[in-house]
Every structure is written in structure tokens, then in C-alpha cells.
Structure 1
Amino acid sequence: MTSTRSGRLWTRCATAGAALLLAFAQPARADDAGMPRLKPVATIADARLTIDTPQGRAEFPLYLSKDWSVPQPQVTRAVIVVHGRLRNADVYFRTAQMARDAAHADPDATLLIAPQFLATLDLSARDEPADLLRWSGDAWMGGEAARGPLPISSYAVLDAIVARLADRKLFPNLRHVVIAGHSGGGQVVQRYAVAARDLAALTGEGIDVRYVVANPSTYAYFDAQRPNAQGIAAPFDAAQCPSFNQWKYGMDNRPPYLDDRSPAQLEATYAARRIDYLAGGADVDPQQSVLDKTCAAEAQGSQRLARAQAYYRYMQSRHPDGLLMQSFHVVPGVGHDGERMLTSACALAAMFDTKGCEP
């Protein structure tokens, strides 16, 4: 595992390292069956998180609503919103601002963070520093190591953000941290809730941590069961899809960040975490353009709402007696729409503790 520690906020700067970036550039490709090809992002965030490792230093772009390089004693809540496979962190940062305003949360007491996981193609035509982290395609969604400049897991990047928030010199009064994502970002948040190892830095300081998982294509299962025709977990016939239990769909061939723990250990930790699953009531199209249609995804159900319902039933069946620290909500009338999902009543309740979300 690559170790990290809290970084410093650096401003964006030009460097002669652009030539090195070209060595990592690769053309857009179709990463999932039936999905559109990736295109370079329009905008790269100008704030930087510095991540130091024994192998060297790397920079990571993100949007911030406050300068977190100086003490922010008024901040009591931090909300991290993870973009989807389009890597459009600017759009998700604006959505986070809309959610904050809709919840009537105090902007001065709230820190909004929108990390940006870049693909190599995002940098091929730009004059950006050579130490800017980038991944092959959407490998960042499953916690894989960056393509350059260092092999840092996307989950280790989230750990570095957590470490910064746990710094009581910077955030002496922080009480709540929410990690939220929609679509591909929902996949990241769900898998990070499975994988995260450094959250004790927050919980040890009395800071509660909550996850909001909205409309992901798929989930990480902990064993070889998958929903049957009735949406009930049952043993799956691997002959139908030999890759059905490969990470990020299951526990086989997990990346180095989390292969040091058994599936049972990962599940026990996951079940104890506070997670709100949000599913759009109209996100039911089995042919939706960015729905994962690989056989491993189809083993979880035909469309997102069905997959969400089946996964929550799966977790409930494995952790009865009220021990599961998780909840499930359908957002009526909403399809695959990040803005409407993350500004819904149940998203606001999860992120800002507002009222109005029915069980």
C-alpha cells in the first residue's frame, strides 16, 4: 500500500514537464460494453492537494469552497462530492453548492470539496505539471493505482483528503464529514466505504462519517450470491459469467489497497458504516447510455433501481436484527440525474441533517 499524509494546498502552475505527460497520454477508449468513449475534460480544478509518499510527491486537483491551508475554526461540516466517469468535478462542485443552499446550511460553517480524478487523455493536449495524478481510463473508479506520476490508489487520495480534515489545527470544530457521489461517483463512494482504512483519523476525533451512494451502475458484493429473478440473493452460476465476482463487482482480484483484508473483514467494517443509498424511481432503463451492461453488471440486475433494491435486500439479509447502519430511499420521479438526486430531500437529509425525508 502507498502511504500518504496530509498535503498542502498549492496553486496551479505551469512547468516544463508537459513532455513527460505526453508519454502517459493514450487515446479515448470504450471502458465498458455499450458505454460511450471517454472525452477530455473541459476544465481542470485549480486547487491542489500535495500527496507525499516514500516514492516521491504527486499533486491532485480539486475544488474547494474554502482555503484549507489555513485554520478554519468556524467549519463544522465537510461535504465531499465525487464526480462520475465524465470527471466533470466543476459540475458536481456547483451541485454541492446548490445542495448546501437548498438545505439552508451556513456557507461559513460548511466546507465543500469536489476531487477530480483525471484520465491520461485529459492531459495529453494540456500544458500541465508532470506531477499531476492521472489514471488509465476510469480505473480510478475501482481504486486502481494512478498511471502517473506515482502508482497511488484513488482510495489513497481520498485518505489524504480525510487526513487533512482530521487535522485539528486546521479544523478544530469539525463534527461531520459526508462523502457523496452519483452514478460513477456513487460507485466510488460505495467501494470506498468497503475499502477505506484511515477513517479512524476522523472517528478518533469524534467526527461522524456518512456516505451517500446515489444511482451507481453496480455494487461490490461480498460473496458469490447475486439477485435471482425475484431480486433475492442466491448462489450465482459462474458459467453464465465467469467474471461476475471480479473486483469491482465482487471480492476476487482486489487491488493492492484492499487485498490485505479478507472479504469477511471488509464486510464487517462496511456494515457498521453509515450509508444512505438513494435510487431514482425513474432510473429504470436497461438500455440507458452510461449503464454498465457487462455480464458482471447484468448479474446484479437489469437496471439501476432493481440493482439498488437487490443490493440493499442482500445487505439486510446478511445483517439482521437492526445491526445494519444503512438506509435506502427511492427518489420518486427522478431518473439518472445527478443534480436532482443530490438536491433531493433525502440527499439533503443525509448530507446536511435536514428534515423531510420519509423512511
Structure 2
Amino acid sequence: MRFITTLLPLALGVTAQQYAGDIISANLPTIAGAEVAFFKIPDPTGASNLTLINYYSHGTNGGRIVESNIKRAVISLHGLLRDPNNYMTDTLNALAQAKASDANINADSVAVLAPYFPNGNDKYYAYPWTDGLRAGRGSQTSALVWSGSQWSAGGNNQYPYTSTNTSSYFVLDTLIQYFADETLFPNLNQIVLVGHSLGGQMLQRYAAVGPDLNVRVPVTYWIGNPDSYAWLNEDRPLSTAACPDYDEYRSGYSNYSDYPMTYGVDLVNQGREAIQANYQNKQIAYARALLDHGDHSSDCGANTTGADRHERFFFFIQSWRPSCDDPASDNCDTVDLINVSHDNGQMFNSPAGLARLFTDNFYGARNRAYDFGYPRAQAGDDPYPDPAQESVPNAGINYNVYAGGMTYQGCWTNQQPVTPAALPTLLYDNAGNSIEGCVNGCLGAGFSIAGVQNATQCFCGSALNAQSAVLVVDTSCRLACPGNTAQICGSINRLSVFSAQYPTFA
């Protein structure tokens, strides 16, 4: 077994650096451009000091960074697989791309940290474990370890068993405050927290309950493709009938301290309006992969906010509109639509990713790039619009006029079997389905509304059922009609609706 350690700080004369944690014997892989570094995290109760395992970037000479040269700190959070080595590699690869357009943006001016939030499955790999001891006593070092994926929502640590009061969110507080320390990083202009997938979930929930740390530099929360969100009120866009626990944390904020959570309890006890205000006071850089329609949610609460990652994102920003009243402020949100899949490397290396991770405000001038990705997907999803592109029409909208003057009226949910069908009559289900065929069939049967779903199905009615039909983002309807593949015929439980006027409801 090969053990990776860092050099002792005293040997380098860098006692001011955050290499003060205990050296944890581990079997973590070596990666180019970074080392495994052990940071000291104080126990919130003051009982002891703990150790956070990280990958920390090197300078261009292969040695440790010179703090006084650092203009930007990027904290890259791993996802479900707990693979900080891969996230460090992907972030460094993106940094190399940014350097290609601005040579000043490089490993000497940008510090990249990839913290590790290990769990019990990582014993022997991330931290040593002693077999044969009482339950829960096998971790004998100061390494911070969490239970399951509770790190992703701010849960307290599981190991070491002598000190279990440390929220993963307190760890993020500590890292932000470390980089914001002017005596260590006098030329720092920006801190960016980067979370993709489960890391994006972590960051969204942290932004909601994390306090204003009053640090001297702007902090951006880059949230990419989370599978779910902690909803900021008790309402949901879709039916909650099949999910009585829809509002429990992590989906909402009921039973918050049962998670178990000690971080943010005072704020949560103030109510949802306080949580909303806290969240909306943060600088959020939303990043949405338009080809990502996946869903790996583990609880029903996520399904009350959308069918998949794509729909949940657009419902969320529709409910809490991103804003950028002043692009030079510390509270200018951005929304980037990126034509890639659920892949953090693709997201980081896109022009949008490079801007948010590295170039925005790099020189401290408070400048940032406009929102990336036109045409937009729904109204209000570009808080910092590009004036050269914001008038570009949505190419995905069907502007055709069909028999009876029927036109496209949007993509709607059909939330069966929990509620009645959005349109009551299934006219047919066949492989020749097209919009013309469905519209003509519904008109011929005496109906005023036609809806195509799941590519092959045609539904008819004279009104939409208000319990089942909810308007969603147009891109939720994405399946080609088999009878005319240039057309879109809804999706699973999603109807592309056509009528001569805006649908009425029953």
C-alpha cells in the first residue's frame, strides 16, 4: 500500500499556511499539479482540532503556492462519488483553458482547493481504520468523516467519535474565512465555491442557511446541475399528494434538526422568509446543462418540484427569480445555459464555466460576463442579459397554425395516477402520431384541445384538469413525433398542448 503525505510545514518555513492539520495516512492517488493537504478545522465547541483532507493546487513550478500572488480562490466540491482527485483534475484542466486566453490566469495566481468529505465506505483509502474495536471506534485519527451523504446537506460529522459537532457547512465557512484573510492573501479579489451534481446540492443548501461571513472579497456560489433543491417555502409546483413528507429537510425545512443538523438552526427557526432573504442575498451563478434530463433523486420530495434535474431547475428559478440589479455588486446572479450533458468537466471547460470559475472579477474590477446560452428557455431566466442576444427568439417553440386555428399552448404536466388526467380522453396511442394527426382527430371528435404525449399518444378534451395540468418549461417536452420527427410530441407524463386559445380549466 502506498501512502501519500504532505511535507511538514515547518520544513518549508510556511507556518502561516493552512497545512496545520494532522497528517493522515491514506492511499489517495497522486495527481499532477496538486498535493494532498491536511487543514486544521477547529471543533465548533472548542473541544479539539480536527483535520480536513483536501487536494490543494501547486504553483507553476510544482511547489506550493505563494499566497501573496493569489488573486482568486476556487473551492471545488466533489459529487456523490466523493472523488476530489477527479474534481481537482477537472478544475485544473479548466484553469489551463482559461490561461490560453489570459496568461495572467494561471496556477500562480489561482489557488484551487478540492475538499474531501469521506464516509464510512472510504476507510483504508481516505483514512486508516483499526479493526476489532467497539462499534464506531475504528477511526482513531482526527480526520473528519461523515455518515453516508450527510456532508452534502450540512450534517454533522460521524468521526472521530470523540468530536461529532462539525457540520460540513462549518467546514466551508472555515475555508472561506481562510482565503479571505488579508494577512495571508493580500491580493485576493474573488472566492468561488463550485458545486456540481451532489456538490451543487450541497452548495444550494449551504447558500440558503450559511450566514453572511462579512468577508472582504466577493463570494460566488456556482451551482451546477443539482438533482434536487431545498425549497424555500412550503408550496410546491407539482402535486404533493403522494409525498406526505415532501417538506422535510433536505427537500424543505421541516424537522430540520432531525437530519441531524446543528448548523443554521437559529436561522431556520426564524421561518421561511428569513431563509429566502438569506439565500437571495448571495451571489449565485447558476449553470444548467441543457442535455441533462437525468434523475437520481432518492426521496419523493424532489418529484414535487419537477420530473428531473432540468424541470426542477426551471421551476426553482421561476419561483425565486435570479436578479442582477448592479453587475458590479456582490449580489449579481447569473444563469448560464450550456449545451452539454451531466458532466462537470464539460461544464467547467465551457466558455460559461471558464468565465464564472476564473475570469469574472479576476482583476478586482467587478466585471463579469453576460449570461451565456441563447435563445433562453423561459421568461426571466437571464438576470444579466446579453444585449446582443436577448431578443433572439426561442427556436424550440412551435409557431405553426394547425386545423381549427389551433396553436401551441405550452408544455404541461399530466400528473397521473395521483390526480385525474390533464386531458380526459386518450384518442389513440400509435407509432404514426403527429401533431396534425392528433389535432385533426380531436377536432373531428368534437374537442377543442389536443395534447400529444410520450411521442405516440394523443389526448383530447375541452378543458385542462387544474389538479393535474401545470405549465412547465417548454424543453420538458422533448420527444420527437414518430409520424413527423421534425415535431415534438411531449414527453413522459408531459403534454404538448394545442388549442385555438389559451386553455380553460375544469
| TM superposition score normalised by structure 1 | 0.79
**Equivalent of 2:293 in 275, 284, 299:** 284
Q: What is aligned with 1:313?
A: 318
Tell me, what secondary structure is at the counterpart of 2:263? helix
Is residue 83 of structure 2 the alignment partner of residue 83 of structure 1? no
Residues 145-160 of structure 1 mapped to structure 2, 5 A cutoff: 145-149=156-160, 150-151=163-164, 152-160=166-174
Residues 70 and 188, structure 2, Cα contact 8 Å, conserved in 1: yes
Q: 1:348, CA displacement in angstroms?
A: 1.4
Q: Is residue 2:91 matched to residue 1:96?
A: yes
Residues 179 and 58 (structure 1), Cα distance of their counterparts in 2 relative to 1, 3 Å cut: same
Aligned counterpart, 2:143: 132
Assess, with a 3 A threshold, how the Cα gap between structure 1 residues 321 and 177 changes in structure 2: closer, same or farther. Answer: closer
Q: Confirm or deny: 8 A CA contact 1:62 1:89 kept in the other structure.
A: yes
1:142 is matched with which residue: 126, 138, 153? 153
Pair 1:64–1:304, CA change in 2 (3 A): same
CA contact (8 A) 1:12 1:47 kept: no
Deviation at 1:327, TM superposition (A): 2.6
Whether 1:247 aligns to 2:249 is: yes
Counterpart in the other structure of 1:268: 277
Superimposed CA distance per residue, residues 183-226 of structure 1 (whole angstroms, 9 cap, x where no aligned partner): 011111111111222521x2xx2x11111100100111111112
1:52 aligns with 2:42: yes
Deviation at 1:163, TM superposition (A): 1.8
1:353 aligned residue: 359
Paired with 2:246 and 2:17, the residues of 1 have a C-alpha distance of: 37
Q: CA deviation at 1:66?
A: 4.1
Matches within 5 A, 1:212-223: 212-223=222-233
* 1:123 corresponds to: 123
2:446 is aligned to none
* Range with greater deviation from structure 2 (98-107 or 76-85): 98-107
Distance 2:338 2:211 in 1: 31
- Please give the alpha-carbon distance, in whole angstroms, between the structure 1 residues aligned to 2:291 and 2:65: 43
Distance (whole Å) between structure 1 residues aligned to residue 204 and residue 116 of structure 2: 17
SS in 1 for 2:178: helix
Tell me, yes or no, if structure 1 residue 107 matches structure 2 residue 107.
yes
The structural deviation recorded for 1:305 is 0.9
RMSD: 2.8
Q: Spell out the pairing of 1:316-355 with structure 2 (5 A cutoff).
A: 316=321, 325-332=332-339, 334-353=340-359
The aligned residue for residue 63 of structure 1 is 55
User: Equivalent residue for 1:23?
Assistant: none
**Contact 1:213–1:275 (CA under 8 A) maintained in structure 2:** yes
**1:182 equivalent in alignment to 2:199:** no
Q: Which moved more, 1:78-87 or 1:268-277?
A: 268-277
- Measured against aligned partners, the alpha-carbon deviations of 1:127-148 in whole angstroms (never above 9, x if no partner) come to 3661101011111011000001
> What secondary structure does 1:211 align onto?
strand
**8 Å CA contact 1:278, 1:330 repeated in 2:** yes
Answer yes or no: is the 8 Å Cα contact 2:293–2:310 preserved in 1.
yes
Query: Counterpart amino acid of 1:48?
Result: F
What residue number does 1:302 align with?
307
- Deviation (angstroms), 1:346: 1.4
Q: Is the 8 A contact 1:182 1:342 kept in 2?
A: no
SS of 1:267's partner is: helix
Which amino acid in 1 is paired with 2:37?
Answer: A
CA offset digits 1:14-52 (Å, max 9, x no partner): 67xx9xxxxxxxxxxxxxxxxxxxxxx964972111112
Offset from partner CA, 1:50-95 (integer Å, 9 cap, x none): 1123121110101111499986111111011100011100000011
1:248-300 deviations in Å (ceiling 9; x for gaps): 111112222011012222211211211111111111134xxxx1142111111
* 8 Å CA contact retained: 2:153, 2:202: yes
User: What is the distance in 2 between the residues matched to 1:320 and 1:184?
Assistant: 24
Specify the code of the residue in structure 1 equivalent to 2:93: M
Ranked by relative contact order (alpha carbons within 8 Å, sequence separation 6 or more), the top structure is: 1
User: Secondary structure, in 3 states, of the residue corresponding to 2:221?
Assistant: strand
Any unmatched runs of 5+ in structure 1?
1-5, 19-40, 229-235
**Counterpart for residue 173 of structure 1:** 187
Kindly, what percent of the aligned residue pairs are identical? 28
Which has more radius of gyration? 2
Residue aligned with 1:312, SS:
helix
Amino acid in structure 1 at the alignment position of 2:18: R
Query: Unpaired runs of 5+ in structure 2?
Result: 1-15, 100-104, 130-139, 361-368, 374-384, 386-506
CA distance in 2, matches of 1:94, 1:14: 21
